[in-house]
Amino acid sequence: MDAQGRWPPAELVLDARARLGEGPLWDERRRVVVWVDILAPAVHAFRPGDGSDTVIPVAQAVGAVALREQEGLLLALEDGFWLRDDGGRMLRLAPVEADDRSIRMNDGRVDPAGRFYCGTMAYDERPGAASLYRLEPDGRTSRVLTGATISNGIDWSPDGRTCWYIDTPTRGVDAFDYDRETGALRHRRRVITIPDGAGWPDGLTVDAEGCVWVAFWGGWCVRRYTPDGAFDREIRLPVAQVTSCTFGGDGLDELYVTTAWNGLSDADRAAQPLAGGLFRARPGARGLPARRFGG
Q: Which residues are designated catalytic?
A: 202
Q: Round to whole Å and give the CA distance between 57 and 145.
A: 30
Strands of the 21-27 sheet, one edge to the other: 21-27, 32-37, 42-47, 52-57
Q: Which residues contact 103 (CB under 8 A, 6 or more apart)?
A: 78, 97, 120, 121, 122, 123, 129, 130
Tally of CA atoms within 13 A in the half-sphere of 241 that contains its CB:
22
Q: Round to whole Å and give the CA distance between 130 and 133.
A: 10
The SS3 of residue 14 is strand
CA angle 142, 34, 18 (to 5 degrees): 100
Strand partners, 110: 116
Q: Round to whole Å and give the CA distance between 64 and 107.
A: 5
Taking 3-state DSSP, the helix, strand and coil percentages for the chain, each rounded to the nearest 5, stand at 5, 55, 45
Q: For the residues of 195-232, what is the DSSP string, one character each?
A: PTTS-EEEEEEEBTTS-EEEEEETTTEEEEE-TTS-EE
Q: Round to whole Å and give the CA distance between 21 and 114.
A: 24
DSSP state of 30: T
Strands of the 162-167 sheet, one edge to the other: 151-156, 162-167, 172-178, 185-193
